[in-house]
Structure 1
Amino acid sequence: MPTATMTCKGQITMPKVVRDELGLIAGSKVMFVRMPDGRYSLIPRTGRISDVFGAVPVESSLSLEEMDAIVRDGAVESDQRTRNI
């Protein structure tokens, strides 16, 4: 199992096998996503939303009707604030 050691500056050199498997190159960015059980997942930031889909746990999901209502309520509040200026 690949391992790494953190320096006193908090830096870690990722093992080559891990870099290769994740498709990371110099300058690549990674996200550290905290999972519900307290562990972290390392997710490469490649610019594709599909790479992080499912990485963040969802407590519950909203229906389209619920989302429409939230957007509508926000628009009404914004309009009321604008009129009170």
Structure 2
Amino acid sequence: MASARVTSKGRITIPVAVRKAMQIEAGDRVEFIQVAPGRYEFMAANSEVTELKGMFDKARKAVSIEDMQAAIAKRGAAAR
């Protein structure tokens, strides 16, 4: 298991084995995603947005902005 120490400035050095496995290079961005209280996943954010093309099918039905806003308002009201 790889580990790292946090400096007084909150910095860490990602171990070489982890950088290689995640294909992280100098200048790449990383993200910390909370998956549960007190638990985070660390992931490389080094892919281009163009890689998402074709991941989803075309929308079956067009939805208006008004319909979207109504759905958001309804969901927000239900959460209170």
List gaps (5 residues or longer) in structure 1.
52-63, 75-85
Compute the displacement of 1:28 (Å): 1.0
Q: Which residue does the alignment assign to 1:57? A: none
**3-state DSSP class of the match of 1:24?**
coil
Query: What TM-score, normalized by structure 1, do the two folds share?
Result: 0.57
Corresponding residue for residue 16 of structure 2: 16
- Residue 43 of structure 2 aligns to a residue whose secondary structure is strand
Aligned length: 61
Post-superposition, which runs of at least 4 consecutive aligned residues in structure 1 deviate over 2 A?
Answer: 47-51, 71-74
Query: Which whole-Å CA distance do the structure 2 matches of 1:46 and 1:38 have between them?
Result: 25
| Seq. identity, % | 30
Counterpart CA distance in 1 for 2:8 and 2:24 is 24
1:24: how far off? 0.5
Write the distance in 1 (CA, Å) between the matches of 2:36 and 2:48.
23
Structure 2 residues without counterparts, runs of 5 or longer: 53-59, 70-80
1:68 and 2:72 matched: no
Deviation, structure 1 residue 46: 1.4
Which letter maps to 2:12? I
1:1-80 aligned at under 5 Å gives the runs 1-48=1-48, 68=63, 71-73=65-67, 74=69
Task: Letter of the 1:13 partner, please give it.
Answer: T
CA distance in 2, matches of 1:36, 1:6: 21
TM-align CA RMSD: 2.9
SS in 1 for 2:3: coil
